Amino acid sequence: MESTDKTIADLVTADFRAAFVFRAFGIDYCCDGSKTISEYCTDNDLSSKEIYDSLSEAYTRPLEQNFDFKFWPLNLLATYIETKFHKLAKKQVPLIKAALERGIRRHGKGFLQLHEISLIFDQAAEELAQHLKREELILFPYIKKVFKNNETRQLMLSKDFSKIQRDIENLMLDHEQEGEYLTQIRSITDNYSLPEDSPKSIQLIYSLLEEFDLSMQKHMHLERNILFEETLNLLYPENEISIESR
């Protein structure tokens, strides 16, 4: 059994197979990542034993390539997130919007949930675009400069750091809102499940949405629980504490 004092985020960071277990139990490992399993279960009336048993079973399955991002230099991690997840999101959003438009046009009367999904997704996509832009123009260049030029101490003491701290806190609020949009879509789609005889175009929409959900959760986890956490820890080098408690 896993150590009970590890947080949900730590478990996912150490082994991404844990993410699929948490998803199965409806646990947001990004925004609730600072909690332990026991704490989360107490707050949400769940069985911690059932979750630990599921984790033990999941760890018997083949392990795909699993990077320990906790030990990556932050400039490299910022580049990885931007190259992999930002680019992926920018490709996924227009595909999903187009698929939703076609689905509503052809099957809107038979699948009324598409209208609500489209409204939520459009809002999520608009806010996500602004979020990515702020990261790419402000936060990520700052992180890359700090670590590329070994200027951690000098920049940490400068006025820039307090601004960056505020930016990170605002980006974390974005994560919480984005997580809420994904939760709403999951609820409307019954976790992306459809009758087998559903039209292919509707099946495609649900498949695209689920892929987007999976990639966004990993994307936000890497930012919130590793990149942002470690960047903020520069401000408190003698007392590294969770971003949730600041």
The answer to whether the predicted template modeling score (pTM) of the entire model surpasses 0.85 is: no
**What does the radius of gyration of the chain's CA atoms come to, in whole angstroms?**
19
Q: How many other CB atoms are there within 10 angstroms of residue 141's CB atom?
A: 13
Is-contact 38 48, C-beta < 8 A?
A: yes
* 173: Cα separation from own chain's centroid: 12
Confidence of residue 241 (pLDDT cuts 50, 70, 90): very low
> What distances in angstroms separate CA 215 from CA 34, 56, 134, 211, 220, one per listed residue?
20, 24, 19, 6, 9
The predicted pLDDT at position 239 comes to: 46
pLDDT at 144: 83
**pLDDT reported for residue 149:** 63
Residues 162-168: what's their mean pLDDT? 85
* pLDDT digits 0-9 by tens, 29-79: 888 888 999 999 999 888 889 899 888 888 887 766 567 788 888 888 999
Q: Percent of the chain, pLDDT > 70? A: 86
Residue matched to tokens 């940490």: 156
Place 117 in a pLDDT band, splitting at 50, 70 and 90: very high
Burial environment of residue 62 by CB neighbours within 10 A (0 to 12, 13 to 18, 19 or more): exposed
List alpha helices for 108-243, DSSP H: 113-134, 140-148, 152-156, 159-188, 200-222, 228-233
Q: How does the average pLDDT of the chain come out, rounded?
A: 86
**Mean per-residue pLDDT for 154-166?**
69
Structure tokens at 96: 């999903």
Please give the Cα distance from 245 to 243 (Å, whole number): 5
How many residues would you count in the chain? 246
Phi/psi of residue 145, each to 5°?
Answer: -65, -45
pLDDT of residue 234 exceeding 90, the answer is: no
